[in-house]
Chain A
Amino acid sequence: MIKLQNIEKVYRTSSIETLALNNINLDVRKGEFVSIMGPSGCGKSTLLNIIGLLDAPSKGQIEIDGSPVERYTDKHLAELRNRKLGFIFQSFHLINDLSVIDNVEIPLLYRNTSAKQRRELAQEALEKVGLSNRMKHFPKQLSGGQKQRVAIARAIVGKPEIILADEPTGNLDSAMGNEILGILQKLNTDGATIVMVTHDEAMAKKTDRLVRLFDGTQVS
């Protein structure tokens, strides 16, 4: 489903060249739950951004469903992100000026979906994460765990095949973290392919496969 071949990412400034990723090869199959682990600064988030088509590699090839994406236009990439991928971030990235349900509806704004349909799908997604009673609340009125559940609802509202989670439990205590992992596992059981970046060894061990990075290089 996701295939990375010889991925290299170099950040260049006028004086420094930093190799963030070096010769990464990764094949994520449909329905897999893969976690990416490694110390801070090893390139985990960079790799996830590349998988999520938010960043382009300096070298190498990415294939999604067998199609290389290098030559895709901004419009095509945006459509792919919208239809195929769902994102969950460590810092939730909720828009504080919008209610929970309006936040969840965001991915559907970039599709031809009617307001009524958007509302129905958002309600359905919130029910899945157990937050249907908080629809009218604003992010500031929610706990960290609830915010992350809203972010998960937003990630799954468009029914994407792949969910990319960047340290989804990083800002939460262990109980809340387990609860979020439980939701992700349930989504995986329901058929979603999940790639999760984490620091937490215990969390990583609960996934199907573990990819370890060190200094931008894949070590396992």
Chain B
Amino acid sequence: MLQHLFKLIWNKKGTHSLLMIEVWAAFMVLFGVLTLIVFNLRNYLQPIGFQYENVWNLELSSNQDTTEIAAKLQRALQRVKAYPEVTAASRMSSNTPFSANQIGNSVEYNKVNVGADFYYTDTELANVLDLPLKKGRWYAEGDLVGKFVPVVINQVMEDKLFQNESGLNKVVKRDDKTMYKIVGIVDKFKGKGKYMSDNPALFQMLEKSDRWNSNILIKTKPGTDAAFEARLVKEVAVMLPGWGVEVGYLKDSRKNRENLTLVPVLIFLIVSGFLLTNVALGLFGVLNLNIAKRKGEIGLRRAMGATEAKVTTQFLGEIWVLATFSLVIGLIFAIQFPLMNVFDLDKEIYLIAIFAAVVVIYIIVTLCAWFPSKQAARIHPAVALHEE
């Protein structure tokens, strides 16, 4: 029967070409959207790697003040740490977790070059974000006396840079002037939010004399309220006259950041939803028309021994065969993405998206063909034969 259906559809390929193009286009769009969804979902299911609850970001801006910036920043840090509501505080570059800022650079080891997000921060960040270390330790003040700049990297960076070797205590090169010594390795650090992938990250020791990185991450005790926030802002503003002082919650930044990821996905979903609805309605209409035109054939098949169920199966089978032709063409295109490593995504993401798109297409065509096929089966054979 399957061979018969393939023959029937193949012989009618000219008539069905537009329908096949429509199914193919729907598959391609669905594949794109599903790739995006699978990519984001896989990221979402991976742990973020740190704690952001009760962590505030105190953003200081020196504005016109140019004197003793580093010292003033250190004083502000000490003041913040002195509050009983604060359990830990750490200076950090402007690319704080979930912020839109990004600092990127690359490092080299044994001719392997890896690009990474660079975070400039002091010795306290691991405490503020509860960043667990997989190997080694977080850098300390004493590391600054060494020849190399102390850094901590994440696991994915270790994997990319050293493949099967351990990266601990290895020296890597940023440029001819800067060499880093890896003192510790953390597991994951998804600094751009749950929907983002765990990119290579490097935490570089920030010296007390640094005047450029003026964010302070503050871990507060649970239940610390807005009254403390107001007091903190007021007192720091008094300490640093003329400076800009702003406090944000990492929890809120995370939401904003994730919305920025979700909104395009939702837009794509809505657009593809419309497209799929159009395809479904088109298919439904074409199949209805097709069945109306083929009443004689239905009557003939019933006369030749087809049961109602077999007529239903035949029409469903035809649409499955038609969808299969379209999907084979679609797969030729889609399979290029994992083969050519497009966008440097994991092959598995593309393969899952392909599989899911194929399943969705078969479900849609089945739903669209079900009612017309049932209708076809219910046509009385004597009536169907008489109508041609």
Which residues of chain A have a CB within 8 Å of any CB of chain B?
45-46, 49, 52, 54-55, 74-75, 78-79, 81-83, 85, 87, 89, 91, 93, 95, 97-98, 102, 105-107, 109-111, 115, 154, 158
Contacts and interface: CB of A to CB of B under 8 A. Distances in A.
A147 to B, nearest CB: 13
Contact of B305 (A105, A111, A115): A111
Contacts of B307: 74-75, 78
Given A55-B380, A55-B382, A93-B388, A115 B303 contact: no
6 contacts: A52-B303, A75-B307, A78-B305, A97-B8, A107-B304, A154-B304
6 closest cross-chain pairs (CB), A and B: A82-B305, A110-B305, A55-B382, A49-B382, A78-B307, A107-B304
B32 interface: no
A74 B308 contact: yes
B211 interface: no
A75 B309 CA distance: 9
Nearest to A105: B4
Which secondary structure dominates where chain A touches chain B? helix
Contact of B304 (A46, A49, A87): A87
A81 B8 contact: no
A102 B297 CA distance: 14
B305 A54 contact: no
Contacts of B300: 87, 89, 93, 95, 106
Interface in B298-330: 299-310
B385 A54 contact: yes
B281 to A, nearest CB: 25
Nearest to A79: B305
A46 B382 CA distance: 8
B306 A91 contact: no
A54 B381 contact: yes
B12 interface: yes
A111 B8 CA distance: 19
Contacts of B164: none
Interface string B86-124: 000000000000000000000000000000000000000
User: Counting chain A CB atoms within 10 Å of each CB, which of B3, B304, B385, B386 scores highest?
Assistant: B304
Contacts of B299: 54, 93
A87 B382 CA distance: 12
A54 B303 contact: yes
B63 interface: no
Contacts of B310: 78, 110
B1 A109 contact: yes
B273 to A, nearest CB: 34
B296 interface: yes
Nearest to A48: B382
A121 to B, nearest CB: 14
Contacts of A109: 1, 4
A45 B382 CA distance: 9
Given A97-B11, A102-B4, 4 more contacts: A78-B306, A78-B307, A82-B304, A106-B300
A98 B385 contact: no
Which secondary structure dominates where chain B touches chain A? helix
Given A54-B382, A55-B380, A115-B3, A97 B12 contact: yes
Interface string B358-388: 0000000000000000000000111001101
Interface of B: 1, 3-4, 7-8, 11-12, 296-297, 299-310, 380-382, 385-386, 388
A7 to B, nearest CB: 14
B302 A54 contact: yes
B308 A106 contact: no
Contacts of B303: 52, 54, 81, 85, 87
B7 A98 contact: yes
A55 to B, nearest CB: 4
B388 A102 contact: no
B106 to A, nearest CB: 61
A171 B3 CA distance: 32
User: Counting chain B CB atoms within 10 Å of each CB, which of A91, A93, A95, A158 scores highest?
Assistant: A93
A110 B11 contact: no
Contacts of B385: 49, 54, 89, 93
A174 B296 CA distance: 26
A85 B305 CA distance: 9
Given A82-B305, A106-B300, A98 B382 contact: no
A54 B304 CA distance: 10
B40 to A, nearest CB: 45
Given A91-B388, A93-B300, A102 B7 contact: yes
Contacts of B1: 109
Contacts of A49: 382, 385
Given A91-B388, A97-B11, A102-B4, A110 B381 contact: no
A95 B305 contact: no
B4 A95 contact: no
Nearest to A157: B304
A107 B305 contact: yes
A138 to B, nearest CB: 8
Contacts of B305: 78-79, 81-83, 107, 110-111, 158
Contact of A106 (B3, B304, B381): B304
Contacts of B11: 97-98
